[in-house]
Amino acid sequence: MASPVPHDNELTLYLLATGLSLLAKTDRSPKIPYPAPLQRACNRILLNAIRCQSEPPNSVAEIVIACTQEPKRVPYLAISLPESVIGLGLPLLENGLPTQLCREWSHVHADVEQYLVEERVFSEARELCRKRNDQQAYIDYRRVHIEHPVLTRSAFIKLCETRTLRPLKDCLEIAYQPIPYGHAYNDEYHLCKTCGNLLILNYTEQALQCRRPGCAGEQGDTLPADPGDERRHPLWLQTGFLESITYPGLLELQLHNELAQIPGVEVSLWPLFDAVDLQITFSDGTIWAVDIKEWGSATALALRSNNSPIPQTNWHRAFYVFRDERTINYRNEFYARWNRRPNVEAYLYSQFLAEVQNHLKGFQPDAKHR
């Protein structure tokens, strides 16, 4: 069985990621006193460097700055953090803010207040839909977050006037907030043509970069930015909603649409008000549950999944599905730290589609599915 206890280097990473997240909440520039987890992480990095006879860091501030680089390029980080994270080649800070990798390894929610707001809003929306027994409203609510990370105010008002979303207007108004003027470039907000998210200036490379991790960030539409009146700015989803709904939701919709084209397969989005991401029902009555994950660190995901497994509903098999770009090494790393339960597996995207076809070979689809 996979060990639930963090390895020594993982504990250092937990502390470092949590400390950086807490630091970013107060100010982009290092301040004394530093958050306790950050100070503890830096002490561990310092002692490890001395023990390994590597050049140690001179200060906490130096370590914070070093976190804007790939860990493998900083000797005292390369020997103090897990090899699985070193191999990703990703920094913990970007433009002064925690990266997705950093947030995944943050042991607690550094911005507790914001996290509780997001959890409350999402729970309230789900409960409103459940009380009204309106599964379609819940689907529409989630699809707005996935398909429209940025909205003009007029588009937002129009969406909130639709039948299914009108009861959820208050929840949407909390999730969507004016885009800070600091994200404007030449007095315009630049949108990604690929996913519709915001393009933000990468000060290191002096180029616009999509806010969605892994997106190429092709230049799309632009929206005007008014430095004098934030109330006129377009609306952008808060970070927590982007990470928990928008980013994984893009792959959820992609897989849903692909499965819906296969004869002999019926697929539902977020059934039972989000018991799982997808439920697949085959013509022979077999039911599969799918939970799609978009985590950068397979180890962090495995440790989280051990505490929050796929809920048991009426499925016969359940799957975690990762995009193909994660590679088989990612899947193997996940398995190494995951407490697997019976009839639950983890596949890459193309592997899962092949498994669907393998199941279909065992029976002839009904005529109504042809």
- In this predicted model, what pLDDT tens digit does every residue of 307-363 receive, in sequence order? 889 999 999 999 999 999 988 999 999 999 899 999 999 999 999 999 999 999 886
CA distance 254 to 256: 5
Q: Is 228 left (phi over 0), alpha (psi -120 to 50) or beta?
A: alpha
Q: In this predicted model, what pLDDT tens digit does every residue of 273-318 receive, in sequence order?
A: 999 999 999 999 999 999 999 888 888 899 889 988 999 999 999 9
Amino acid letter, residue 87 = G
Q: Where are the beta strands (DSSP E) in 52-180?
A: 93-94, 97-98, 150-151, 176-178
Q: Is the pLDDT of residue 29 over 70?
A: no
pLDDT of residue 191: 95
Per-residue pLDDT at 2: 38
Q: What's CA 282's distance to the chain center, in Å?
A: 29
Tell me the two tokens of residue 362: 């065992």
3 state SS of 67: coil
Q: What is the DSSP letter of 368?
A: G
Vertex 106, ends 101 and 108: CA angle to 5°?
A: 150
- Whether the CB-CB separation of 368 and 266 falls below 8 Å is answered with no
Least confident of 47-61, 187-201, 230-244, 256-270: 230-244
Query: Looking at 178-192, 223-237, 264-278, which range is the least confident one?
Result: 223-237
- DSSP one-letter code for 245: I
Give the orientation angle of helix 298-307 with respect to helix 327-337, to 10 degrees.
40
Q: Are 60 and 42 in contact (CB under 8 A)?
A: yes
Bridging pattern class, strands 207-210 and 198-202: antiparallel
Read off φ and ψ for residue 40, nearest 5 degrees.
-65, -40
Q: What is the pLDDT of residues 94-112, one digit of tens each?
A: 877 888 888 888 864 444 5
Rounded CA separation 50/54 (Å) = 6
d(C-alpha 134, C-alpha 355), whole Å: 32
Residue 33: exposure state from Cβ atoms within 10 A (0-12, 13-18, ≥19):
exposed
pTM: 0.75
Task: Output the average pLDDT for the chain.
Answer: 87
The percentage of the chain sitting over the pLDDT mark of 70, rounded to a whole number, equals 90
Q: Which residue matches tokens 């914070």?
A: 64
Cα 24–chain centre separation = 18
End-to-end CA distance of the chain: 43
Element (H, E) at 237: strand 235-237
Q: Which region among 107-121, 136-150, 152-166, 187-201 has the lowest average model confidence (pLDDT)? A: 107-121
Q: Which strands form 198-202's sheet, in the order they lie side by side?
A: 207-210, 198-202, 188-192, 219-224
Q: Each residue of 123-143: pLDDT tens digit?
A: 899 999 999 999 999 999 999
Measured CA to CA, the distance from residue 308 to residue 207 in angstroms comes to 38
Q: What residue spans define the domains of the chain?
A: 8-105, 112-241, 245-369
Q: pLDDT at residue 226 above 50?
A: yes
> Please, which residues have CB within 8 angstroms of residue 119's CB and are 6 or more apart in sequence?
none
With beta carbons less than 8 A apart as the criterion, state whether 144 and 241 touch. no
Return the H-helix or E-strand segment holding 265.
Answer: strand 265-269
- The values of phi and psi at residue 291, to 5°, are -120, 115
- Six-digit token string for 150: 């940025």
Give the residue, 316 or 230, on which the prediction is more confident: 316
